[in-house]
Each structure stands twice: as structure tokens, then as C-alpha cells.
Structure 1
Amino acid sequence: MPFNRLSALWGMLAVLSWLATGCSPEAAPPEAPPTVVDSHVIQAGHGAAVTRLSGRVKAAERTSLSFEIAGEIRRLTVDVGERFAAGEVLAALDDERYRLVARQRRAELREAEAVLREKRQDYRRQASLAEKGYVSATRLDAARAALGTAESRHASAEAARELAERDLTLTTLEAPFDGSVSRRHAEPAERVGASQPILEVISDREGFEVETSVPETLVGALEEGSRHEVIVPALGDAASPATLRHLGTQPRSSNDYPVILAVDAPPAGLRSGMTAQVALSLAEPDADATLPVPLTALVYTGEDRVHVLRITETHRLERVAVEVVAIDDGRARVRGDLAAGERIVARGAEFVGAGQAVSLLGEGPERYH
């Protein structure tokens, strides 16, 4: 019958379709191949932790010199780079106006002294006559008041004379110490205001210091008075011991804290403004407490949270939170739930995540894409 042959044909097509689908409509899709990662085996930490930072050399004693009064600069005796001795006149203003004012104040003082002598004599005379009953108490009071006024005017004139003579002495700018000029802000014949910077000078007597900054994670490992090392590339990498003189309490931008180190033995040729490399030896009571890892293995997730990805024996990734204790030469010394001999993702850790299956670069069969 045609109908029976058609039914048999549809049955054969159903069997073939079932075989083509793998005999099970609910079979799970195959698992994705492991991601290939570059790994690093953690080594045991040895020795003190050292962090290298960039800094700049500065004179330990430096200041900006200015006149306390306004005027026109008559002369400047030094230029940038020139040396001077303490007490030497470095600049002077045109003092003609100040000399005239001082002369006027002296004359006013002499006039006030003459008036005071006159009123003092008059009061004494009136007081003597009042004792004999020849003058009234009202007249004596008037003489006493006139004497008081004369005394006040004399005191004012004396103070004005002292201020004028002081201003006259301030027309010269003297060196506060032995040193040299690092910058000049004005020129002869230029009119300057009070407290306007004229010269920036540095001293020879206090040596040099290096200023740098450290991240907040390292502040607790430093203390004032600790010894470190300063290296100056411009002088052939000349090195000198340095003492930490100041550790800032207020952060700069990006939570970096200022640090100032005194150069204990300045190398020959050291000058203010040179760049320096600061090797900070961080306090670390337990050398085994930190482990070195590549900087590229660190993953920052905001708000100072840092982690690495540990590779387990089953080649799965585990997230391990760490604390960065020091940074030096492409490595970071970290503290956390890690141990020497464990393997972590060396680079590209931000592109993989915890729980992910991985294979190690350079191990196992090559994959071609």
C-alpha cells in the first residue's frame, strides 16, 4: 500500500535525525579551553626592603631676600651663581628720599624738645607761685595740661625720628650668611615694592638635602633619624649616606607624603637643583614577613585594595589580597596569605579572574589560532 510505504519512510527519517543529534537532546556543551597565562614562582625574601624614588637636591638653608621698604634699586652687586660673605651689601635703593625724611624728623624732634623744656619750666614756675598763693589752681592745672601735651608730642617726634632712621638703614640689603645667588628677580633702576623678592640665595654652612615623596603605604615603615642612601646620576652615580630629617604629616597629590633627607657626605660637585635617586631602607622587623613579586602581578581595585591571582594545583585562579610594603627595581615586596614556592599570574592579571581555569605559558601542547 502506498500509505504504508510513506509511513515507513517517515520513520527512517526520524531515526536518522536522532542519530545525527548525538542520541541525547540534553547533552552539555563542551567546556571552554583554559586561558594561557604567564606565571611567576614566588621566591623567599632576603635582606632589608629597599625602595628607590626620584628626588631633587636643594640647599639645606635658603631664603628669598627683599627690601622692607619701597624704592628704586640703585645698584645690585651680585648676579646668579656669584658668591658672597655674610654682611656684604648685595643691593641698595636710592636713599635720597629717606635721608630727607630722616633730616625732617630730626628737626621736628628738636622743636618738640624745645617746646617741652619751655612747658616744663612754665609748670615749675606756676607750681612755685601756687604754693605762695599768687596763682589760682585753674592756672596751675592749665600749665600741667600743657606740659603733658608737650611730653606726648616729644615722644611722638622721637618715635618718628627713630622710624625714619631705621628706614634709611633698610635701603641696603645685606647677606644673612655666606653663600651664593641662585636667582635674581630685579634689575638696577627698577622700582620695587616692600617685601618684593629681589634675590634668592642659598647657604654653604648647612650643606644639602634631597626632597622626595613616598606613598601612604610606606609611611609607617619610615622614621625620622633613619639612615638611607642618595645617588646623584649627574656625578657619575656618586652615592652618599643620608639621614631622614623630615617626614610630612599632610599628603600632597595622590596621597604622597613629602620626605626630606639630609645628605651626610655631599659628593664633590653637588649643586642645588640636581636630580637624585633616593634608596630608602624600610623598617622590616621580620625579613620573612614580605615576599617579592613582579609589579605587573599586582591588580589595583580602588581605595588602596591590591590583590594577586594565585594558581592552584588544579590550575584554577584564586584571588589573594596583599599589602604593598616596598617597591624596588620592577618588584614589589608584599605581605599577605602567600608562601614561597607558590605560583601567581605574572602579567595580564587584570584580564582573568578568580575561579578561571588556566594553563601555563611554555607548558603543555601549543595552541594555534
Structure 2
Amino acid sequence: MKKTLYTIVTFSIALVMTSCGSDTKKSATDNAPAITVTTNKVSLGNTNPFLSVSGKIQAANSADLSTRMMGFVNKIHVNIGDHVNKGQLLISINNSDLQAKQAQVNAGITEATIAFKNAEKDYQRYQNLFASASASQKEIDDMRANFEMSKARLESANQLKNEINAQFAYSNITAPFSGRITGKNIETGDMAHPGMPLMSIEAPGQFEVIAMVPETEISKIIKNTEVDVLVKSIDQSLKGKVHEVSVSAKNTGGQYLVKIVLDKTDANILSGMFASIQFPVEKQTTTDMVLVPTEAIITNGQLSGIYTISQNNTAILRWLRLGRTYGNEVEVLSGLSADEVYIVSANGKLFNGAKINIQ
């Protein structure tokens, strides 16, 4: 009986302690200070009656430099950001094997030159003898054949020298035009392989925009049409003109490539910036997109979400399915609808159920 009474008392005390701990934790959460947040309302893209697509700025004249030969990189003469002139040496690749071949070719040219000169003298001598009837027709024919063969050997040796000289151009990589170095994919001592991109160069001053237009709208895009280009990162609108319109979407997933050449401007634009191009044609289809700024997106592994606000002014993490990125905004395919309010930033660490104070 005493043992039974002791068990009942112990269980009662444990239950009371657990209840007190739960109340204490709940009270601590309720008494936590509210986190001040900044909110925004879901915006719908493509509400403009005119066709607007996203694109990326790139230099009109750019090149990825590579080599046709294999060898170790002896020296890299420039760095990223350097301005270079046309013909300036950029990369030196070990060419000791080419130097050996060049020596062999030069020796072959010397030998062929001597043989050609001897054959030429013999041919001229037999021509004089044949003219004075002192040499037969067969002898003059043999001398002519020997002369022509010596001439062909000398020409072959000279062409082989031109081939070796052309290969030297791939061991000393030079700038194809004046511009600025934008990328470097190799370091001194690395092994260069044929076709491997070694360095990137761009000619500053003229830029173009590459945009992808859906098949429902491409028929209205006409070459030489003037367009407005909004560069979101610098918040400037530039003028441009349609330069190329692709007629095939075979390798672009149903999207047609359109190239816009930008007018010369003093705006501080750089390759890789995102832009929005507005064509002066009415859209054939009206599709609204839910767009949110990328800074408001919360990531956890492969999951992406955003904090919304409950009726009790608490933060609620909602997982989203995202689409394409348009500059500093991303398309929300599901999980968020129009006119909903979401949290852009907070002055503290947000979590599910956190009390918030809208700024």
C-alpha cells in the first residue's frame, strides 16, 4: 500500500513539473519582443499591353581565346581587367618541339635550295648544248625533269616552313583586337589543350542584348525596330535597335533568339547585366506572372520559401515553386498569389510563429 501511494505521488509531481515547464516555455515565446519587418505586396509582371521580355547584356565584340596545340603555359602576360592592344602577347606556351621542327625544316630548305640551283645550272648548260646539237633530246628532257623536281622540292620545303610558322602563332597567344581582358581560365604551369578556352577578351564601347521571345510573339518582331531597354541594376532606360531575329527555335526550347544592338551611351553598363526589353508591338497573349525580389527568398537545401504574415501578425514560412529569374526578381509558379503581403527584410532572425511589427 505504501509503495502504491508513493508511485501516485511521484507521478503527480512529475505531471505538475512538466505542466509548469510547458507554461514557462509558452510564456517566454509570448513575451518575446516583436521583430520589426519590412513588407511588400506581390507584383504581377507583364501587365504592360506591349511585349516585354528579359535579356542579358553582352559586348558586341568578344572572343574566347584557345590554342590548337598542347603544351605547358610558360607565362601569362596580362591579368583580368587589363586593357590590351591588337597583336599584344597574352600567353606564352612551351614550343620547344616546334623549335626542333623549325630547325629541321630550315635544314631541309637549305638542302633543297642547293639542289635546285645545281639542277638549274645543269638545265641551262644542256639547253646550250642542245641548241648546238651537242646533246640529245632525251638528255635535255632528263635535265628539265630534274630541274622541275628540284623546284617542287624547294617549294614543298618553303610551305612546310609556313606551316611551322603558323603553329608558332598558337604557342604565342595574341590579342585579336584591342579590348579588355574579362576572363582567365589557366595559370602558369598548367597544361593547355587544343580547343580549351584560355582567356576571354571584350572590346568596350558597344554592347548588345540577347533576348528570348516566345513563339506566340516572334512573328511581330521585325528587324531594325527601335526598342526601349531597361537596365534594372543601374535603373536606366536605353535605346536600341533589333539587329537579328532567329527563324528557328530547334535548340532553344521553343524560344526564339533576338539580338538588340544598344545605341552608344555614357551609362555604366557591363556585360552580364540583366535588362528588360520592351518591343513596340501589342502582346498576342496576356500572361501575368507573380514576381518577388530574390532578396526575400529563404533557401533550405533545395527548398525555397518566403515569409508571409498571419492574421495574428506572426511570421509564417511558406514554401514556393520558383520559375525563371528576371534580373533581381524571380517568378513564383505556385505557393503565392496576387495581392498577398510578404516580408522583404527583418531586423532580427525570423522563424515560424515569430511576432512581428510592420514598419
Residue 228 of structure 1 is matched in structure 2 by 227
Residue 23 of structure 1 is matched in structure 2 by none
SS at match of 1:197: coil
What whole-Å deviation, never above 9, does each CA across 1:129-181 have from its counterpart, x for those lacking one?
Answer: 33444444333332222222211111111212222233334432111222222
1 CA distance for matches of 2:134 and 2:253?
88
SS at match of 2:79: coil
Deviation at 1:196, TM superposition (A): 2.9
Task: Specify whether residues 112 and 81 from structure 1 end up closer, same or farther in structure 2 by C-alpha distance, changes over 3 A only.
Answer: same
Residue 166 of structure 2 is matched in structure 1 by 166
Unaligned runs of 5+ in 1: 1-47, 285-322, 331-346, 348-369
Residue 114 of structure 2 is matched in structure 1 by 114
Residue 245 of structure 2 is matched in structure 1 by 247
SS at match of 2:285: strand
Which range is displaced more, 263-272 or 195-204?
Answer: 263-272
Deviation at 1:67, TM superposition (A): 2.5
Deviation at 1:282, TM superposition (A): 0.9
2 CA distance for matches of 1:84 and 1:133?
68
What whole-Å deviation, never above 9, does each CA across 1:257-288 have from its counterpart, x for those lacking one?
Answer: 1122222254633111112222222169xxxx
2 CA distance for matches of 1:234 and 1:63?
25
Residue 21 of structure 2 is matched in structure 1 by none
Tell me if 1:324 matches 2:285. yes
Percent identical across equivalent pairs? 20
SS at match of 1:211: strand
Deviation at 1:250, TM superposition (A): 0.8
Residue 82 of structure 2 is matched in structure 1 by 82
- TM normalised by structure 2 equals 0.60
Quick check: 1:81–1:181 contact (8 Å CA) kept in 2? Answer: yes
What whole-Å deviation, never above 9, does each CA across 1:50-105 have from its counterpart, x for those lacking one?
Answer: 23322211111111112244332211122333332222211112233323322332
Task: Specify whether residues 139 and 180 from structure 1 end up closer, same or farther in structure 2 by C-alpha distance, changes over 3 A only.
Answer: same
2 CA distance for matches of 1:213 and 1:112?
59
What whole-Å deviation, never above 9, does each CA across 1:21-42 have from its counterpart, x for those lacking one?
Answer: xxxxxxxxxxxxxxxxxxxxxx
- TM normalised by structure 1 equals 0.59
Unaligned runs of 5+ in 2: 1-47, 292-336, 338-359
Letter aligned with residue 67 of structure 1 = T
Which range is displaced more, 264-273 or 156-165?
Answer: 264-273
Matches within 5 A, 1:95-244: 95-205=95-205, 207-235=206-234, 237-244=235-242
Pair member with larger Rg: 1
Aligned length: 244
Quick check: 2:223–2:242 contact (8 Å CA) kept in 1? Answer: yes
Residue 58 of structure 1 is matched in structure 2 by 58
Quick check: 1:50–1:327 contact (8 Å CA) kept in 2? Answer: no
Tell me if 1:277 matches 2:276. yes
